[in-house]
């Protein structure tokens, strides 16, 4: 079986205060994808300043641990909600931030599929979104994560058009950016494998799979091995951090560390993934 190119895990700034954990990631050749926590208020200039401050904190630690910025993945801030038609909350604000990151030396970026406006013409909107996607950090590596399961939380928003399945495929046709699949968003390991094979049959390139289930719980070792058998030479990014007896919704509500797997246990899980290949 071919080996994967890269294995990553998500980190926040606070993770860097645990020196032994970061050194363990480095020693086990586990790369980083940044989970940005700066709050997005809808004030474009203020949001950008807050994100710059957070990136400055990250960069301080990257220099301290002698990490190369061009190997680190930057995930879009602000959770799932990005309206690409909105100048403040949409792609223009994201573009400003990503361009700032490019100036700092980062080269890998991840965005979510957009939320459109169901009250406008679908074909015109799709054409507009395709142009916007094509102009976003054109000289960097950009991946677009398909969001499907999380859209169900917004099912009551009748004015929202979701770019998943067919619209996602239309958005990505001929783009330099590549697709990114997420095990939770796809509905589990088996459906991720099915989706991956279907998209590949359509000629789409997929470089990366996000690993988690039940909203940010770890895949079991067997689940990861099952995925690995089909997803050869992929980048894998662990997004698991919630304890098995807790939930992401509980964590969002309480912000309690009791909901989070300890770094020692997290490291053991990541090492177990590593041993599979």
In three-state form (DSSP H/G/I as H, E/B as E, the rest C), the secondary structure along 14-67 is: HHHHCHHHHHHHHHCCCEEEECCCCCCCCCHHHHHHHHHHHHHHHHHHHHHCCC
Q: What is the pLDDT of residue 81?
A: 61
C-alpha Rg value of the chain to the nearest Å? 18
Q: What is the pLDDT of residue 4?
A: 45
As a whole number of angstroms, the distance between CA 70 and CA 270 comes to 22
Cα dihedral angle (72, 77, 80, 81), rounded to 10 degrees?
Answer: -150
Which bin fits 205, alpha (ψ -120 to 50), beta or left (φ > 0)? Answer: beta
CATH architecture of 6-275: Alpha-Beta Barrel (3.20)
Question: pLDDT 10s per residue in the chain (277 long)?
Answer: 344 448 999 999 999 999 999 999 999 999 999 999 887 777 778 888 999 999 999 999 999 999 999 999 999 987 656 678 776 667 778 888 999 999 999 999 999 999 888 899 999 999 999 999 999 999 999 999 999 998 887 766 778 888 989 999 999 999 999 999 999 999 999 999 999 999 999 999 999 999 999 999 999 999 999 999 888 778 999 999 999 999 999 998 888 889 999 999 999 999 999 887 6
Q: What is the pLDDT of residue 38?
A: 85
Contacts of 227 (CB under 8 A, 6+ apart): 183, 189, 192, 193, 209, 211, 219
Largest CA distance in the chain: 53
Q: What is the DSSP letter of 242?
A: B
As a whole number of angstroms, the distance between CA 124 and CA 130 comes to 10
Contacts of 45 (CB under 8 A, 6+ apart): none
Q: What is the pLDDT of residue 85?
A: 79
Question: What DSSP element (H or E) covers 212?
Answer: none
* Global pTM value: 0.93
Q: What is the pLDDT of residue 215?
A: 93
């Amino acid at each position: 079986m071919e080996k994967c190119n890269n294995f990553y895990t998500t980190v926040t700034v606070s993770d860097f205060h645990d020196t032994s954990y970061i050194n363990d990631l480095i020693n086990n050749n586990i790369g980083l994808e940044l989970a940005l926590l700066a709050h997005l208020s809808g004030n474009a200039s203020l949001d950008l300043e807050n994100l710059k401050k957070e990136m400055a904190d990250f960069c301080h630690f990257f220099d301290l641990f002698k990490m190369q910025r061009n190997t680190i993945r930057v995930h879009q801030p602000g959770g799932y909600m990005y309206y690409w038609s909105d100048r403040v909350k949409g792609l223009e604000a994201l573009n400003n931030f990503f361009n700032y990151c490019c100036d700092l030396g980062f080269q890998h970026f991840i965005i979510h599929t957009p939320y459109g406006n169901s009250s406008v013409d679908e074909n015109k909107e799709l054409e507009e979104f395709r142009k916007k996607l094509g102009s976003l950090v054109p000289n960097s590596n950009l991946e677009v994560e398909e969001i499907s399961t999380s859209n169900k939380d917004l099912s009551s928003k009748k004015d929202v058009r979701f770019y998943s399945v067919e619209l996602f495929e239309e958005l990505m046709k001929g783009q330099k950016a590549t697709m990114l699949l997420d095990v939770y968003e796809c509905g589990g390991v088996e459906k991720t494998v099915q989706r991956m094979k279907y998209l590949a049959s359509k000629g789409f390139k997929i470089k990366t799979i996000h690993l988690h289930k039940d909203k940010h719980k770890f895949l079991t070792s067997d689940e990861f091995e099952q995925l690995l058998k089909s997803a050869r030479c992929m980048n894998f990014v662990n997004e698991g951090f919630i304890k098995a007896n807790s939930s992401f919704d509980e964590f969002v509500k309480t912000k309690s560390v009791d909901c989070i797997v300890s770094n020692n246990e997290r490291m053991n899980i990541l090492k177990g993934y590593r041993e599979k290949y």
